[in-house]
Amino acid sequence: MTTPRTREVGRFFSLADAAEILAVDVSMVDALVRSGELPAIRVGSSGPYRIERTQLDLWIEGQYRQSEVDTAWNEGEFANVAELSGANQRHLRAVD
């Protein structure tokens, strides 16, 4: 009996690999890369883009954090404005 072979994951993903991981179209990943939102490198001057695995992981974590902030903001009365704005509370002062 043979076991299914799992594909080795290298350091870099193609746009298609990243799209598969994110369960989106390749054009969505391409747009994220071209806008600079998702860091990537280009192989050669006009070669294909490659996304480093750690960069994709960091981008995904950032999306989770943004989702948490958006959820808290939408809860309104429970939102801590200083926390949501990223302000350091030590530098805030009371308003008269």
pLDDT band at 54 (very low <50, low <70, confident <90, very high): very high
User: pTM for the full model?
Assistant: 0.66
Using alpha carbons, select from 54, 25, 47 the residue that is nearest to residue 38.
54
Read off the pLDDT of residues 68-93 as tens digits, 9 standing for 90 and up: 888 877 776 555 666 656 655 555 45
Reading the block at residue 67, the tokens are 């989702």
Torsion on CA atoms 23, 28, 33, 37, rounded to nearest 10: -90
Q: Please, are residues 13 and 20 in contact by the beta-carbon 8 Å criterion?
A: no
Read off the pLDDT of residues 7-29 as tens digits, 9 standing for 90 and up: 566 899 999 999 999 999 999 99
Angle at which helix 15-22 crosses helix 26-35, to 10 degrees, equals 110
Q: Please, are residues 21 and 63 in contact by the beta-carbon 8 Å criterion?
A: no
What is the CATH T-level fold of the domain 12-90, as seen in this structure? Multidrug-efflux Transporter Regulator; Chain: A; Domain 2 (1.10.1660)
